[in-house]
Amino acid sequence: MGRLRNKKEAPDQGEANGSHDGKGTAVTRDKIDQYREERRGLEVDILDEILLSRKRAWQIACAACVLTLASYGLSGFLVYRYSQPLPQHILQRDAKTGAVESVSLTQDAKTYNEVTDSYWVSQFIQHYESYDFNSAQLDYDAVGLMASPAVAEQYMARYKWGTSDAVDKRLGDSENVRVRINSVILNTQDAETGIATVRFTTTRKVRQRPNSEPPEYWIAVVSYKYEKSLMTSSQRNINPLGLRIMSYRVNPEAANNVGG
């Protein structure tokens, strides 16, 4: 029997280099260049991804800014639109009669002065536009006390008072004209002189006819103020506040609703 070996035999050089043929694999310049190109392509891809992500982030940020600005603009418009005060009145036309009436959109919160102005302006129009033989003198006196000289002259020329062709001599009590005030809109920005827009209806009734004539619709623009002047007690009873109508202009409300 032979002797056992006390030491392991060392592997040959070929096994140590991982080659059975005993020769190592050399790294060529081409492989180095290929490695560099692959590495460069990977870095470029990573850089492209970073730039693309940054671009998308900016696009999203810009879109968010645009949406934010648009929302602010819309909010501002809505606040401005609905913070505007509502008009106090609108005009509504009756489909059957064609009459135009003023409709209030807000709660009735008229001041004492507005109520007073509306009442006395309405009283003047009642006296000016109506006719009744039995109260013609009262109407004549009231218009004379309330009207300025120009308006009084206009009134005298219209009804031809004091002449043989005056309305009371021509019509007598054969007919009358009634006045209905539909609305009074005041414009009192000028503290001294107020302006009122009054819509009213006149209805003529001939005594010998059973029915009244079709109503006529009118709109009057009145400028007025109050004057302190000496008056008798009877005059003060008719015009206690000293109303003075400075101008009076009346036109048909609608041409097809005005009688001949």
Give me the pLDDT at residue 259, please: 44
**Do 154 and 238 belong to one domain?**
yes
As given in the structure block, the two tokens for residue 16 are 């140590």
Query: How far apart are the C-alpha atoms of 59 and 232, rounded to whole Å?
Result: 86
Domain boundary among 32, 54, 84: 84
**Do 61 and 100 belong to one domain?**
no
Written as one string, the DSSP assignment of 51-104 is HHHHHHHHHHHHHHHHHHHHHHHHHHHHHHHHHSPPPSEEEEE-TTT--EEEEE
Give me the pLDDT at residue 99, please: 61
Averaged pLDDT of the chain: 81
The least confident of 78-82, 193-197, 228-232, 255-259 is 255-259
**Do 142 and 157 belong to one domain?**
yes
**Structural domain boundaries enclosing 138:** 89-257
Domain boundary among 35, 67, 84: 84
Assess if residue 18 is contained within a domain: yes
As given in the structure block, the two tokens for residue 190 are 């000028």
Domain count, the chain: 2
Domain boundary among 29, 60, 84: 84
**Greater model confidence, 123 or 94:** 123
Choose from 5-9, 93-97, 220-224, 255-259 the range with maximum mean pLDDT: 220-224
Assess if residue 213 is contained within a domain: yes
218, β-bridge pairs: 200, 252
**44 pLDDT tier (thresholds 50, 70, 90):** low
